[in-house]
Amino acid sequence: MQSMIHKTIIYLIIFGIFWPALLFSQASPKLIKDKPKKGEGIYTFLKRHDLSYSQYGKKFIELNKGKFGKDNTLLMHHEYILPADNNIDINPFFGEKYKTTKITSHELDGATLYLVSGHGGPDPGASGKYSIHTMYEDEYAYDIVLRLAKNLISKGANVHLIIQDPNDGIRDDMFLSYDNDEKCVGKTIPLDHLKRLKQRVNSINTLYKKDKDKYKRCVVIHLDSRSKRKQIDVFFYYTKGSKKGERLAKTFQDTFDKKYKRHQPSRGFSGTVTYRNLYILRNTDPACVFIELGNIQNYRDQQRFIKENNRQALANWLTEGIINDYRNSKKNH
C-alpha cells in the first residue's frame, strides 16, 4: 500500500503563491516536518504528533542528526522530520489541534473522495439567526467537510478538499466566525454563480483524470434555508441516470435512517433521495451526491450545526455511508 502521506493530496497544497504550483506534487513520509513549540523536548514533540517515544525516539534522532542542542535538546529555529511510517497523516487544513490524523484502518484503501463544501469566498450562502449570532452556511458546511475528510483519511482514503480555507481548520466553537478567504483548489473563487460552479467542476474533473483508484465519488455539502418554522431532515440528491450516485445517496439515507432509529426512535427519519438537475451533479466526472443537512433558519435544525458533537456525528454517519457504499461497490465487481 502506498503510504498515507503519499496518498493524501490535500495537505500538500501550500498557502499563498505556491498553492497552485504544488497542487499535484507528492511527498514521502520522511519529508513530513514540524517545528517544536517552546519548552518541548523529543518526548513531548513526538507525543503531540501521536508518536510514542519508545517506538520512534531512536529513529527520530537518526533522521534529524545534527539538528540538536546539548543532550539532544530541540532547537526552536529548526524543522524536524517526523518518522511517520504510514501511521499518521499531517494536514494543515485541519488546524493545529487536529492536523495529525492516525490511520486506524485500511477500509477505504483504493477509494478517492472529492469533498465540496457549499459556497465560500465572496458567497457565504444562506444565513440564520440564533439569539444575537448569525450563522453562515459556508462556515458550517466547511467544518463538517473537514471532519468528514479527517474521518476518511483515517480509514485509508485518498481525499481532495475542493474548497479550502488557509486558517479556519476544524473548529469546536458553537458559532463559527465568518471570513471570505476560501479558495477553490488554490484559486480565487469568483463572484459570478455560474463561474463558481464551473470552477469547482473543472477542479474535480482535473483531479479525477489523474487519480488511479477505481472507486471515485464526489460529495457536496450544503445547508438549506427555509421558513423558520420548517424543520427538515437530511436530503440527498443525485443526477438522473447516475446509478452510482443513486446508490451512494440511498446508502447515505439508509445509514441515517438506522442512526435515527437508534438515537431518536420516537422521531424517525424522513430524509429523501431524489434526482435533481443541478449543474455540479450533471457535470462532474465522478458520481456525485449533493446533500442538504438541514434548515439553517430553524431552531431545532440549528442544534444539528452549532453543537460540535452534532457536526462530528454528521461527519461520522456520512463516513459510515461511504464505507458501506465502497464495500458494496467491490461486491458488484
Span 166-202, pLDDT tens digits: 999 999 999 999 999 999 999 999 999 999 999 999 9
Query: Is 2 a domain residue?
Result: no
Span 63-72, pLDDT tens digits: 999 999 999 9
222 with 95, same domain: the answer is yes
Given a cut of 50, is residue 42 above it in pLDDT? yes
Given a cut of 80, is residue 210 above it in pLDDT? yes
Domain stops at, among 81, 109, 125: 81
40 with 162, same domain: the answer is no
159 with 35, same domain: the answer is no
Percentage with pLDDT > 70 across the chain: 89
124 with 55, same domain: the answer is no
Given a cut of 50, is residue 9 above it in pLDDT? no
Check residue 90 and give its pLDDT.
86
The secondary structure element, H or E, covering residue 216 is: strand 215-224
71 with 131, same domain: the answer is no
Q: Average pLDDT of 207-229?
A: 94
Query: Is 5 a domain residue?
Result: no
Query: Is 181 a domain residue?
Result: yes
C-alpha cell at 26: 507528492
Given a cut of 70, is residue 12 above it in pLDDT? no
72 with 100, same domain: the answer is no
202 with 300, same domain: the answer is yes
100 with 39, same domain: the answer is no
Q: Average pLDDT of 91-120?
A: 94
Total tally of structural domains belonging to the chain: 2
Burial 260-269 (b: 16+ CB within 10 A, else e): beeeeeeeeb
Span 254-290, pLDDT tens digits: 999 999 999 888 888 999 999 999 999 999 999 999 9
Domain stops at, among 35, 52, 81: 81
What is the widest separation between alpha-carbon atoms in the chain? Answer: 66
Beta bridge partners of 102: 88
C-alpha cell at 264: 431518536
140 with 183, same domain: the answer is yes
Query: Is 26 a domain residue?
Result: yes
176: CATH: 3.40.630.40
Check residue 234 and give its pLDDT.
95
Q: Is the dihedral of CA 328, 1, 161, 52 positive or negative?
A: positive
Query: Is 201 a domain residue?
Result: yes
pLDDT-based confidence at residue 85 (cuts at 50, 70, 90)? low
Q: What is the mean pLDDT of the chain?
A: 89
For residues 3 and 54, the model is more confident at 54
Residue-by-residue DSSP string for 71-97: GG-B-TT--EE---TTSEEE-GGG-TT
Check residue 11 and give its pLDDT.
41
Domain stops at, among 40, 56, 81: 81
C-alpha of 310 from chain center: 16
In angstroms, the CA 232 to CA 42 distance is 50
* 121 torsion bin: left (phi>0), alpha (psi -120 to 50), beta (else): left
Given a cut of 80, is residue 14 above it in pLDDT? no
Check residue 319 and give its pLDDT.
98
* 294 torsion bin: left (phi>0), alpha (psi -120 to 50), beta (else): left
127 with 25, same domain: the answer is no
Given a cut of 70, is residue 126 above it in pLDDT? yes
Check residue 322 and give its pLDDT.
98
Query: Is 149 a domain residue?
Result: yes
User: Domain containing 259: what range?
Assistant: 87-331
Query: Is 163 a domain residue?
Result: yes
198 with 50, same domain: the answer is no
156 with 296, same domain: the answer is yes
